[in-house]
Structure 1
Amino acid sequence: MATFSELGILPALESALATDDITDPTPIQSKAIPVILAGSDAYVSSETGTGKTLAYLLPALARVDAAQRALQVVVVVPTHELAMQICDVGRELAQKAGLGIRFQPLIGGVSTKRQLEKLKDKPQVIVGTPGRIDELIKGRKIKPHTVKSVIVDEVDRLLLGESLAEVRSIIKSMQRQRQLVFVSATQRPETTEEAEALASDLVQVHAGADQVNSAIEHFYIECEERDKAEVLRKLLHALEPLRAIVFMHRSANAEILASKLNHHKIPVVDLHGAKDNAQRKKAMDDFRAGEAKVLIASDIAARGLDIRGVSHVFNFDIPTQSKDYLHRVGRTSRAGSQGCAVSIMTAQEVRLAKRYQSDLHIEVRVGRLAGGVFHVDN
């Protein structure tokens, strides 16, 4: 397999990656980087946890002229958390590589005035949600004519409904010779068709089939619905996760669960309950810093988040589709580490474990709690 420098990535960026023990490109990075570096329009698809962010961020950084104090790359994402995460990754890489490239997040729910002040610093890269970026372009606060590349991440969420109209508007405002890169964890016909309508000569870049990382162990434990919170509490004590993500569907239930766990001295942050960007940022910062060992999130809130050291994923509310299970468990076992996924199921939900096994070709073993210890049935 080619090295990053052999793929065309700047040696300074390759050295910056090495400080985080990233030395070998993943399959999607090996395929996508040369295509994006060449300036081609591309549709990049690969499963969660395969390194898609660096697959587009590295060549985008390599194409930025740091001496030119003008906007050159626009990254459109569906959530505030993902925008902040990509900005953090990009800033750290650029700083370590000594590139002098400025990043600016542009998200809704924050003071527009403050963001306009930051834009006066002339960032070369902006990362933001479609509504805010579109608003600032229409208000002539962003000059789109200098943009070289537009990257649309999580296209299965952005090329739908209101977001689709905003993405179209953003792209339409750019010069015709700009590069378009669409990024997704899936290959859905409807989103692929929309992308092709926006860029007729798309290069399709795909790596990996829908399969689960073999370093993840899968279990389910059966209980009554009313006992799920107590079972989760006992599992957290028995398994002692380094960091754990608990998936729930409903905000009200998440708030109740967070309260119960905090009452039992288990530090928890709840993305469901975060009312604004400041609260969401604090929740993520606390989780990354290890001040809270447990993060409660929905599928939407967790999309795209790349958090190192997540040892366990707990499915409190059970995904009915195998692809959603795949996305969830992909939050653990990153960068070669071991991972564990535990689904807390009612008797009626156990059938879904069999579905995961069949669809994803994995073994989901039966677990049980006894005397404060987690046992696995043979």
Structure 2
Amino acid sequence: MLKQFEAHFKDLGYTEPTAIQTAVYDPMVGDKNVLGLAPTGSGKTVAFTLPALANLLPGDGIQLIVLEPSQELAIQTSRVIRDWAKLLDLKVAALTGGANVKRQTERLKKRPEIVVGTPGRVLNLVSDRKLKLHLVSLMIVDEADDLLTGDTLDTVRSIAQAAPADVQLGFFSATDTPILHELDQWFGQTVERIDVRDQDDTQGQVHHGMLEVGMGKRDQMLKRLLAMPNFRALVFFKQANTLRKTATRFYHDHVSAASLTSDLRQVQREKALQDFRLGHIKLLLTTDVAARGLDIPKLPAVINYDLPTSVNEYVHRVGRTGRMGEPGQVISLGDDHDLRDLKKLLKETDYELEPVYFSGRTLTTERPVATAKPVEKAPVAVTSAAAKQSATVEAAATVDGPVQPAKRKPRKAAAAKVETPNPTKKKKHKNRHTKNKGMRKKWRDQDAQNK
């Protein structure tokens, strides 16, 4: 490691390199092609950054290309690399889809030594001859298990073919897939495999809980979880429509939440992620677009609103918490059938799933015991006068001892109803026509007497 890096390494509070950082440094500095496999949160970005920067020359044009699967991860990686690159007077440019192409083209005119971007945008700029790769000596493919699938595989290969034939290659991933065993065939170069997943000890203690909640009550459960002290969570959805409905409901209910989806503008996505990192919001609702690589320091929890359908999905989702020795909590929501399927899916892994319950503003592994309420006797309906009298006698006997039965009083004759005038009742006023009619008769009589 360079002396400049050693000083900065200590300034950041790191005591020693992680397993993946130690394992790949010498092979990469020695211009070897490598495949680095390490758990999520084990420092893979720094692992390829330090040896990559050690071989770059300031002012010599674009020499390093780093490909990332999402805009968020590309921006995050560019910030990490820039923090180290400034020690060697190296410049970094981020090229991501969804951002302004003209601004990115202007940045390229400043001749950065490092370019970090998404494959689609990088290939577009290469095809338009705005980005030239003839000086590139190293290409890093981060999250290789995701990028080397489907159409993205062809895009990555096209970028590699635009670089010099002897370009050094570096692949990094948290999970192993079949294509990672066929890199020699796809890229025409021998790739050294370095797997430290069993040696890494950077993972903190993470509890994997299953909380039985029906689909119709999951939004309500999220609100209840917010009552826990210092609670924040990254909430994963499978369908964007379900996410939008929940986000709309939370917006109207003034719940501290924001959305992070692929259809949002880059500015909106950056703001949502930044607000969540700073603790301004407590819930970040997202799809698997945020499942890979995102580093959110000291994230307390990850919630699976919709359960993952593959082991790799679960690995990358839960890898957002428990990073760099920090504790974490994973909460998977679902009905009894869903949770059984999840246990079957993960039965071959080392994850220990356990049922959890929400009780008293906290999560517990102990099933709450329902307290039995005292049974109240229903009142007996009394349907006859004799029964009423009997009930009255029995009640009195219970309180004051035995009593004599009450004598029946003779029934009095019903008194005639006499109407009495109501002094408060106002008299009805005669209408104008009736009043004038009486006055006209009086005037006629007066006229008759005068004659």
Structure 1 length-normalised TM: 0.90
Moved over 6 A (4+): none
- Deviations 1:102-135 (Å, cap 9, x if unpaired)? 1101112222111111111111000111121112
Which deviates further from its counterpart, 201-210 or 40-49? Answer: 201-210
Q: Which residue of structure 2 aligns with residue 57 of structure 1?
A: 49
Structure 2 matches for 1:1-378, cutoff 5 A? 9-66=1-58, 68-95=59-86, 98-194=87-183, 196-209=185-198, 213=203, 215-238=205-228, 240-241=230-231, 243-272=232-261, 275-355=264-344, 358-377=347-366
CA distance 1:333–1:356, shift in 2 (3 Å): farther
Rounded to whole Å, the distance in 2 between the matches of 1:21 and 1:355 is: 41
CA distance 1:173–1:273, shift in 2 (3 Å): closer
Rounded to whole Å, the distance in 2 between the matches of 1:123 and 1:177 is: 21
Rounded to whole Å, the distance in 2 between the matches of 1:113 and 1:224 is: 48
Contact 2:291 2:316 in 1 (8 A): no
Which deviates further from its counterpart, 188-197 or 80-89? Answer: 188-197
Q: CA RMSD in A?
A: 2.2
Deviation at 1:321, TM superposition (A): 2.8
Q: Which residue identity is paired with 2:255?
A: I
Contact 1:116 1:141 in 2 (8 A): yes
Rounded to whole Å, the distance in 2 between the matches of 1:235 and 1:105 is: 37
Q: Which residue identity is paired with 1:223?
A: V
CA distance 1:196–1:51, shift in 2 (3 Å): farther
- Deviations 1:243-295 (Å, cap 9, x if unpaired)? 31111111121122223334444321211275221111111121122222221
Which deviates further from its counterpart, 113-122 or 153-162? Answer: 153-162
Name the structure with the higher strand share. 1
CA distance 1:88–1:161, shift in 2 (3 Å): same
Q: Which has the larger radius of gyration?
A: 2
CA distance 1:322–1:136, shift in 2 (3 Å): closer
Rounded to whole Å, the distance in 1 between the matches of 2:181 and 2:350 is: 26
Structure 2 length-normalised TM: 0.76
Three-state SS of the structure 1 residue aligned to 2:207 is strand
Rounded to whole Å, the distance in 2 between the matches of 1:164 and 1:102 is: 28
Contact 1:245 1:294 in 2 (8 A): yes
Three-state SS of the structure 2 residue aligned to 1:144 is coil
Q: Which residue identity is paired with 1:312?
A: A
Three-state SS of the structure 1 residue aligned to 2:17 is coil
Q: Which residue identity is paired with 2:66?
A: V
> Which stretches in structure 2 are left out of the alignment for 5+ residues?
368-451
Which deviates further from its counterpart, 197-206 or 354-363? Answer: 354-363
CA distance 1:161–1:365, shift in 2 (3 Å): closer
Contact 1:320 1:352 in 2 (8 A): no
Q: Which residue identity is paired with 2:176?
A: Q
Across the two proteins, how many residue pairs are aligned to each other?
Answer: 366
Deviation at 1:54, TM superposition (A): 1.2
> Which stretches in structure 1 are left out of the alignment for 5+ residues?
1-8
Greater RCO structure (CA 8 Å; 6+ sep): 1
